[in-house]
């Protein structure tokens, strides 16, 4: 054995093989150590923030990244090198780090006159991007998991992950604050309409320009009384709390079709700086639980609008007693409980509209569920004169009086008046001369 061992150890090939094996093992150990060291350094030196697609700030951050990229490219083209302009080099660096792989988000809107307007927004696409924010270098990674779906929207689950040095972690708070401020600024001076989508509220199209309160002509003193009541309610939350009264207010606007019920609610939201959450009680798939949940999670500073409640619940109790069929999956008791039951939310303003007050169950319109009932009837002489002057100017006051006299005793809605004025929008005298066409329509 000693002779064999001596022969092997003396063999240069075997010695070289063992040497290579030792070097390989050493390199493997070093490689594994380097990997573990890199992982340790990454955990110690880097910090990440993950934003899932179902979070409200997801779209805010995508919009913020898109705007940052556009601003960086514009800034890079401003000025020229030389003259000690150190900021020019920095702007060029920021532009160079702008995401090059982008995805498009298209907003599409068809107007009443048939024209179409579109707006294209470029946001970072899938993959990794590197951007500069102040003095911090950030990696932005947008990932999509095609095997996972967002239950609420039935779209692939996505995340955006921001990574930077741990000493710069405060940058995340600044980014979120900027993204939120930018998103809110885009809606400033506009009214956002929300509609229910599963268990959540989502914007319905693009934000609308706020409608002026004076653009909706109601009978004398009606608009002022409603606005005063709503403002008084908003300003007295503490008064309700001190007396243990639920901080809720319900309004019912009733009257014939075309009397301005929905238009006034839109104008009121613009006057208050509120948004509108529109809920269709006849929507397929709407249940008692989902209704109660939607009323509870409605966005702040929003008016809840239940239109044409008579269509869904006008004879709900009678139909139920007679074994009749109800189109809505929401039960009548479910609606009542959502409005003022134990689980109903506070700090809420609900507007309901109906063309047929007599079809509503008394339990629905009692105080606590409906606190203020307002009749918006067909146009009064005051409304007719005011709308005429609004369309054609104060110098046509005499024609406005004669136009109102011609319609005295006739039931005409404000919607019909507006349609008549639009047809004759260029000639006040022509509008008066053709008042017969309006009467014939009636």
How does pLDDT run across 300-357, given as a tens digit for each residue? 899 999 998 988 764 444 444 444 445 557 888 889 988 887 656 677 999 999 999 9
Q: Give the pLDDT of residue 318.
A: 47
Which contacts (CB < 8 Å, 24+ apart) does range 55-60 have?
57/176, 57/179, 57/180, 58/158, 58/160, 59/183, 60/176, 60/179, 60/180, 60/182, 60/183
Residue 413, SS3 per DSSP: coil
Distance CA 265, CA 300 (A): 17
pLDDT-wise least confident of 69-83, 171-185, 322-336, 391-405: 69-83
Which contacts (CB < 8 Å, 24+ apart) does range 396-401 have?
396/428, 399/428, 399/429, 399/431, 399/432
pLDDT-wise least confident of 77-91, 96-110, 247-261: 77-91
Place of tokens 């102040």: 134
| Domain spans of the chain, in order of start | 47-186, 208-375, 381-441
Residue 177's nearest CA partner among 20, 64, 331, 346 is: 64
DSSP state letter for 235: T
The DSSP annotation for 185-215 comes to HHTTTEE-EEEEETTEEEE-SSPEEPPPGGG
User: What average pLDDT does range 17-45 have in this prediction?
Assistant: 61
The DSSP annotation for 359-373 comes to GS-TTTSSTTT--EE
- Sort 431 into a burial class: Cβ within 10 Å, 0-12 / 13-18 / 19+: buried
- Model confidence over 362-374: pLDDT tens digits? 999 999 899 999 9
Whole-prediction pTM: 0.71
For 208-375, CATH gives 3.40.50.300
- Model confidence over 245-274: pLDDT tens digits? 889 999 999 999 999 999 999 999 999 999
- Name 2's Cβ contacts closer than 8 Å, sequence gap at least 6: none
The angle subtended at Cα 399 by Cα 395 and Cα 402, nearest 5°, is 150
Question: Among residues of the chain, what percentage have pLDDT more than 70?
Answer: 70
Q: Are the C-beta atoms of 276 and 194 separated by less than 8 Å?
A: yes
Q: Give the pLDDT of residue 35.
A: 67
- Going by pLDDT thresholds of 50, 70 and 90, the confidence category of residue 134 is confident
């Amino acid at each position: 054995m000693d002779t064999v061992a001596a022969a092997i150890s003396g063999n240069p090939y075997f010695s070289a093989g063992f040497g290579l094996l030792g070097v390989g093992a050493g390199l493997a150990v070093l490689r594994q150590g380097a990997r573990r060291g890199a992982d340790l350094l990454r955990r110690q030196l880097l910090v990440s923030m993950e934003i899932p697609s179902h979070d409200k700030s997801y779209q805010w951050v995508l919009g913020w990244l898109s705007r940052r990229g556009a601003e960086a490219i514009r800034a890079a083209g401003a000025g020229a090198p030389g003259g000690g302009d150190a900021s020019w080099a920095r702007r060029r660096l920021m532009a160079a780090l702008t995401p090059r792989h982008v995805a498009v988000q298209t907003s599409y809107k068809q107007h009443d006159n048939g024209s179409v307007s579109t707006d294209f927004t470029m946001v970072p696409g899938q993959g990794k991007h590197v951007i500069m924010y102040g003095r911090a270098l950030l990696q932005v990674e947008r990932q999509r998991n095609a095997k996972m779906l967002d239950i609420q929207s039935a779209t692939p689950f996505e995340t955006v992950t921001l990574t930077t040095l741990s000493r710069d972690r405060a940058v995340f708070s600044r980014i979120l604050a900027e993204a939120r401020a930018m998103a809110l600024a885009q809606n400033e001076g506009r009214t956002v309409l929300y509609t229910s989508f599963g268990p959540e509220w989502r914007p319905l199209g693009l934000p609308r320009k706020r409608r002026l309160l004076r653009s909706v002509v109601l009978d004398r003193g009606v608009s002022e009384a409603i606005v005063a009541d709503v403002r008084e309610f908003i300003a007295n939350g503490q008064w309700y709390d001190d007396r243990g009264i639920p901080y809720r207010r319900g309004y019912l606007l009733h009257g014939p079709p075309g009397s301005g019920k929905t238009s006034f609610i839109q104008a009121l939201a613009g006057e208050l700086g509120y948004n509108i959450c529109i809920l269709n009680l006849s929507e397929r798939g709407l249940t008692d639980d989902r209704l109660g949940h939607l009323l509870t999670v409605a966005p702040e500073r929003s008016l809840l609008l239940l239109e044409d409640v008579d269509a869904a619940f006008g004879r709900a109790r009678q139909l139920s007693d007679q074994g009749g069929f109800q189109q809505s999956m929401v039960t009548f008791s479910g609606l009542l409980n959502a409005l003022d039951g134990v689980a109903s939310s506070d700090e809420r303003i609900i507007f309901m509209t109906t063309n047929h007050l007599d079809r509503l169950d008394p339990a629905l319109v009692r105080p606590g569920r409906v606190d203020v009932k307002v009749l918006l009837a067909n146009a009064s002489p005051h409304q007719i004169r005011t709308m005429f002057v609004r369309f054609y100017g104060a110098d046509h006051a005499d024609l406005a009086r004669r136009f109102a006299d011609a319609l005295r005793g006739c039931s005409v809605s404000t919607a019909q008046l507006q349609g008549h004025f639009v047809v004759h929008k260029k000639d006040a005298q022509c509008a008066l001369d053709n008042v017969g066409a309006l009467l014939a329509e009636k």
